[in-house]
């Protein structure tokens, strides 16, 4: 009985997973790897900011559960590949945004900065979808609640209104975003 | 000489001071109270001399020379980081 259950589950994931077949899983893995490589290359050679996000594909829009499933998969792959950083929020968010935008889901990137005296410079990168947090805790929105501006509608910047400036502190996103 | 912010620089007044962000480079800056005062006067289009004069009213225990030096250092920093650009009067 247990064997049949496992086999049945495998079959479901491989062929009938709301549009995610084996080929789709392979494509997602490949796109995630390429997105991480792009982000890493950008950080090494350009240093700051984020590489441009792909345009949102208009022809396909995923249902929310499938989008969540893809985001989980991308997050897992990112965690496995980005072994040189403990905090992977930038790589995870960028890769997820790339993969989902190419499937018609208009995920946007958000960067938050704060200066926490003893802890020093802090930064975080997260995703939003239609202005709502996407796979992110409310705590992030509470901390980074002061809107700073946007590079374009897909990349927005925030700060902590309780920020404690300590001088001409220049905080490079290269060093900060996880 | 007067100053203004480039299009790709955004800033925000917070209770604790001022934060600046270069949207192109992604670099983020925090200013302490003094630097924030200099910044606010600068982006209002005041000249270096006008900024010093205004701040003398606020910082009464600081000599004109010291204040002018602080303003010069801050303006040099802002210009060097391209947070401000000079505009002809």
Give residue-wise pLDDT tens across range A74-84.
Answer: 999 999 999 98
Pick left, alpha or beta for residue B5 (phi over 0 → left; psi -120 to 50 → alpha; otherwise beta). Answer: beta
Rounded to the nearest angstrom, the minimum Cα separation between A53 and chain B is: 14
SS3 state at A123: strand
pLDDT (average), residues A149-171: 73
Inter-residue contact A104 to A62 (CB < 8 Å): yes
Per-residue model confidence (pLDDT) at position A85:
86
Question: What is the model's pLDDT at position B32?
Answer: 82
Chain B neighbors of A170, CB-CB under 8 A? 27-29, 81
Q: Do B14 and A159 touch (CB under 8 A)?
A: yes
CB contact under 8 Å between A165 and B17, yes or no, is yes
Residue A151 has pLDDT above 90, yes or no: no
Residues 6+ away with beta carbon under 8 Å from B43: B3, B4, B5, B11, B84
pLDDT above 90: percentage of residues in chain A? 52
Interface of chain A toward chain B, CB-CB under 8 angstroms: 48-50, 111, 113, 115, 123, 146, 148-151, 157, 159, 161-174, 176
> What tens-digit pLDDT sequence spans chain B (89 residues)?
788 899 989 999 887 778 898 888 778 888 888 888 999 999 998 888 999 999 998 888 889 999 999 999 999 999 999 999 988 76
Phi (first) and psi of residue A150, to 5 degrees:
-140, 145
Task: Please name the member of B14, B25, B27 whose beta carbon is closest to the beta carbon of A146.
Answer: B14
Full-model pTM? 0.79
CA distance A132 to A55: 19
Residue B80's nearest CA partner among B22, B15, B14 is B22
B38 to chain A: which residues are within 8 Å by CB? none
- Domain boundaries, position B49: 2-87
Residue A16 predicted with pLDDT over 50: no
Phi and psi dihedrals of A5, rounded to 5? -65, -45
Residues in chain B with CB shorter than 8 Å from the CB of A49 are 24-26
The CATH number assigned to the domain holding B27 equals 3.90.930
Number of domains in chain B: 1
- Contacts across the A-B interface (CB distance below 8 Å): 86
The rounded distance, in Å, linking the Cα atoms of A72 and A92 is 10
Q: So what's the pLDDT on residue A173?
A: 40
Question: Span A88-108, mean pLDDT?
Answer: 95
A168 neighbors B29 (Cβ within 8 angstroms):
yes
Q: What is the ipTM of this complex?
A: 0.77
pLDDT on residue A59: 72
Tell me the nearest-neighbour CA distance from A125 into chain B, angstroms: 12
Quick check: A126 pLDDT over 90?
yes
pLDDT for A3:
42
Name the minimum distance, in Å, from the CA of A116 to any CA of chain B: 11
Task: Please give the structure tokens belonging to residue A109.
Answer: 């990137």
* CB contact B15 to A (< 8 Å): yes
């Amino acid at each position: 009985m247990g064997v049949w259950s496992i086999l049945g589950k495998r079959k479901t994931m491989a062929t009938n997973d709301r549009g995610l077949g084996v080929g789709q899983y392979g494509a997602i893995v490949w796109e995630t790897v390429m997105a991480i490589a792009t982000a890493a290359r950008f950080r090494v050679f350009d240093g700051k900011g984020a590489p441009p996000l792909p345009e949102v594909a208009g022809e396909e829009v995923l249902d929310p559960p499938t989008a969540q499933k893809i985001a989980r998969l991308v997050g897992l792959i990112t965690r496995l590949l980005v072994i040189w950083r403990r905090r992977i929020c930038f790589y995870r968010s960028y890769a997820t945004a790339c993969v989902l935008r190419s499937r018609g889901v208009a995920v946007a990137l958000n960067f938050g900065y704060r200066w926490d005296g003893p802890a020093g410079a802090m930064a975080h990168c997260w995703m939003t979808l239609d202005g709502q947090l996407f796979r992110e805790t409310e705590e992030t929105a509470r901390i980074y609640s002061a809107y700073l501006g946007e590079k374009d509608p897909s990349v927005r910047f925030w700060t902590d209104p309780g920020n404690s400036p300590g001088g001409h502190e220049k905080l490079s996103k290269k060093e900060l975003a996880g | 000489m007067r100053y203004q912010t480039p299009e790709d620089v955004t800033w925000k007044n917070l209770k604790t001071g001022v934060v600046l962000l270069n949207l192109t480079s992604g670099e983020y800056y925090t200013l302490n109270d003094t630097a924030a005062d200099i910044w606010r006067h600068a982006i209002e289009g005041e000249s270096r001399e006008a900024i010093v004069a205004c701040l003398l009213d606020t910082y009464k225990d600081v000599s004109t020379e010291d204040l002018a030096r602080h303003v010069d250092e801050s303006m040099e920093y802002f210009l060097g980081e391209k947070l401000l650009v000079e505009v002809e009067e």
